[in-house]
Structure 1
Amino acid sequence: MQRYFLDEPVTTGQQLNLDATTYRHWVRVLRAEVGDQAEFVDSTAHLFHGELTRVTDDAATVTLTAVSTPAVELPVSVTIACGLPKQEKAEWITQKATELGVQHIIFFSGDWSVAKWQGNKVAKKLTRLNKIAAGAAEQAHRLIRPTVSYADNLAAVLQTPVTTTLVAYEESAKQGEQSALNQQLTHLRPGDSLLTIFGPEGGISPKEIQMAQQAGAALVGLGPRILRTETAPLYLLAAVSMVLELQQPR
């Protein structure tokens, strides 16, 4: 069943006029007819079934019915902070990280970032990335649309209020460290928040590593192999799911 996000809270039995984007996609593109249903998630992350009850040439109305909300979100709030990647990798990271359960994505200009986001283009890039995140969240049938933001440097990223901060550090992997990530994840509890920092293609500078450690971040390896900048965040999210979802008793 198709899923759409709403920007406001709704109640069961409510008659809802579809916004232009949803109308165009569901009614015009997918050719929905009166009696068809879609899923709607309101701004408080509650799930509703919406039955199409009226269609005109430029508008449509659905009647909403609340349904039980499945446990589809990770038990902890995960933020990934990625040094600016080259080319279109930011879009790829945003889409795939959303599918894997991320709640917040921060792209930051690292000391060794090759890519640069010009100030007058940041807003346009973020608009596109947030749109990609919203679409991926609908397709993955999530209850939360992740947010995508930009930070000028790592110092700004480290101001993010979280329970635990990690830095994915390739030198840890090179040195054979394989247990720190698992130890950090197993200490998390439902409702905690996790920030994990990933370097760009050029890596994380020694100055940034020192800054992160002074802020209380732990250095962790992501297995014995060296991962690309666009692969590392996905490894982390998959590990979070394995440790905190799949290995937990139901």
Structure 2
Amino acid sequence: MPRFHCPLPLAADAQLTLPPTAARHVQVLRLQPGDAVTLFNGEGGEWSATVTHMGRSDVQVQVGSHSAVEREAARAVHLVVGMPANERMDWLVEKATELGAASIQPIAAARSVLKLSGERAAKRQQHWQAIAVAACEQCGRNRVPSVHAPLSLADWLRQPPADALAPDAARLLLSLRSGSRPLREAAAEAGAVWVLHGPEGGLTAQEEDAALAQGFAPASLGARVLRAETASVAALALLGLA
């Protein structure tokens, strides 16, 4: 059954007009009045609904019953990622969403190829958030991970989210340096996990030192050097799949 993100208040028996993006998807699929769809607004669970009207630019539905089903990972895994260039960040956001990432924080580091600021950064954030929404529609998640505005690594380390500083949170730096513990072992006793890694070329030694000084612990995905987008997917597969 087609699933659509509908960031509106939803209630049984409500009649509503779908937001433009969802309406366009309904039209592309050539659904007709009487066809069943599933709606979710990111606040928990999903709703059955029936198409009642197909206009030239608007689609109306009647909301049915609510199901409290959730398909989230057993624990929250947050990514703090050095942005890979070109379409690789798009791919990272899509696959991270499918694998259950709780949030994605793009960062610019010394070796970053992709540099964003101002209006260009805002547009790219919106683009990535839309990719996360589409991935949720496809994979069945009812809660959309936040893709935050890009920041420099220094700015993020200076003021991380309060949740990252919780006593049961693990802050892990993917690193090839000697003494790094296997990722799964390093996160074994943690509640939420924050995984930091660099862009193409990795973080510099100075950037790794800055992260360690802010409470990150070095962790390893093994002896092989992975691309930035592969590292995110591998970390989520180890920590997030349930």
Same fold (TM over 0.5): yes
Report the alpha carbon displacement of residue 124 of structure 1 after superposing the two structures with TM. Answer: 1.5
Aligned to 2:12: 12
SS in 1 for 2:127: helix
CA 1:135/1:216 → structure 2, altered by over 3 Å: closer, same or farther?
Answer: same
Taking only the aligned residue pairs, the percentage that are identical comes to 29
Report the alpha carbon displacement of residue 38 of structure 1 after superposing the two structures with TM. Answer: 0.8
Aligned to 2:175: 169
1:9–1:43 contact (8 Å) kept in structure 2 = no
Output one character per residue of 1:49-88: Cα deviation in whole Å (capped at 9) or x when no partner: 1111233333332121234333311122221111122222
Correspondences of 1:14-93 after superposition (within 5 Å) = 14-26=14-26, 28-93=27-92
Output one character per residue of 1:14-57: Cα deviation in whole Å (capped at 9) or x when no partner: 1122222222211x211111211111012412210111123333
CA 1:227/1:140 → structure 2, altered by over 3 Å: closer, same or farther?
Answer: same
1:109–1:151 contact (8 Å) kept in structure 2 = yes
Counterpart CA distance in 2 for 1:207 and 1:32 is 55
Report the alpha carbon displacement of residue 118 of structure 1 after superposing the two structures with TM. Answer: 4.4
The answer for unaligned runs of 5 or more in structure 1 is 246-250
Aligned to 1:248: none
CA RMSD of aligned residues (A): 1.9
Correspondences of 1:1-250 after superposition (within 5 Å) = 1-26=1-26, 28-158=27-157, 159-161=160-162, 162=164, 163-172=169-178, 179-188=181-190, 192-242=191-241, 245=242
Give 1:9's aligned amino acid: P
Output one character per residue of 1:171-192: Cα deviation in whole Å (capped at 9) or x when no partner: 35xx7x5x5312233213xxx3
Counterpart CA distance in 2 for 1:230 and 1:37 is 36
Using structure 2 for the length normalisation, give the TM-score.
0.89
Using structure 1 for the length normalisation, give the TM-score.
0.86
Counterpart CA distance in 1 for 2:186 and 2:65 is 37
Report the alpha carbon displacement of residue 169 of structure 1 after superposing the two structures with TM. Answer: 0.6
The answer for unaligned runs of 5 or more in structure 2 is none
CA 1:86/1:42 → structure 2, altered by over 3 Å: closer, same or farther?
Answer: closer
**Aligned residues between the structures:** 235
